């Protein structure tokens, strides 16, 4: 030990280093637990997402076929009933289909909102509230 160092300087360094090590270890343990929870929820959600993905793909393919046939029928109906030329009938048909797709997109936007990984998000929210309350108490 150096004669220039004040008495107790080495013990202060070791306690600061121990404190930093403790906080790093605590943070890493916290991170590990959160990742384990996320992994458990991902396993549960994985099969669910696969089934939903296959169903959505099938519905989209079948619905696309329906839309093509519907557009052809709508175009035929417009040209036949209104006695318009083909180009104007196609433009009106495209406008009707665009309006329908916008309405469907708006409905889908408000119906499909469901958060994934709900337990993880709840735990993170609890942790955030706990941190807010402890920092307010310290101040």
Ordered alpha helix ranges (H), the chain: 9-82, 86-111, 118-138
Going 124 to 130 to 132 to 138, the CA torsion angle's sign is negative
CA terminus-to-terminus distance, the chain: 39
- For residue 84, the 8-state DSSP code is -
* Residue 56: both structure tokens together: 């959505």
Domain spans in the chain, listed from the N-terminal domain onward: 14-132
Which has more pLDDT, 117 or 123?
123
Cβ 94 vs Cβ 87: under 8 Å:
no
- For residue 6, the 8-state DSSP code is P
Q: What is the pLDDT, as a whole number, of residue 60?
A: 93
How far is it, in rounded angstroms, from Cα 73 to Cα 15? 81
Predicted model pTM: 0.40
Q: What is the pLDDT, as a whole number, of residue 99?
A: 93
pLDDT, mean of residues 57-85: 91
How far is it, in rounded angstroms, from Cα 36 to Cα 103? 41
pLDDT tens per residue across span 3-52 = 555 555 555 556 887 888 888 889 899 889 888 888 888 877 787 778 88
Chain centroid to Cα 88, Å, comes to 42
């Amino acid at each position: 030990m150096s004669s220039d160092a004040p008495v107790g300087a080495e013990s202060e360094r070791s306690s600061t280093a121990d404190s930093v090590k403790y906080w790093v270890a605590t943070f890493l343990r916290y991170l590990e637990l959160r990742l384990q929870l996320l992994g458990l929820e991902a396993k549960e959600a994985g099969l669910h997402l696969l089934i939903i993905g296959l169903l959505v793909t099938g519905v989209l393919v079948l619905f696309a076929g329906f839309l093509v046939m519907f557009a052809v029928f709508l175009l035929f109906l417009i040209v036949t009933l209104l006695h318009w030329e083909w180009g104007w009938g196609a433009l009106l048909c495209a406008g009707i289909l665009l309006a329908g797709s916008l309405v469907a997109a708006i409905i889908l936007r408000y119906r499909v909102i469901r958060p994934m990984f709900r337990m993880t998000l709840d735990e993170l929210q609890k942790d955030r509230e706990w941190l807010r309350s402890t920092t307010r108490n310290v101040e």
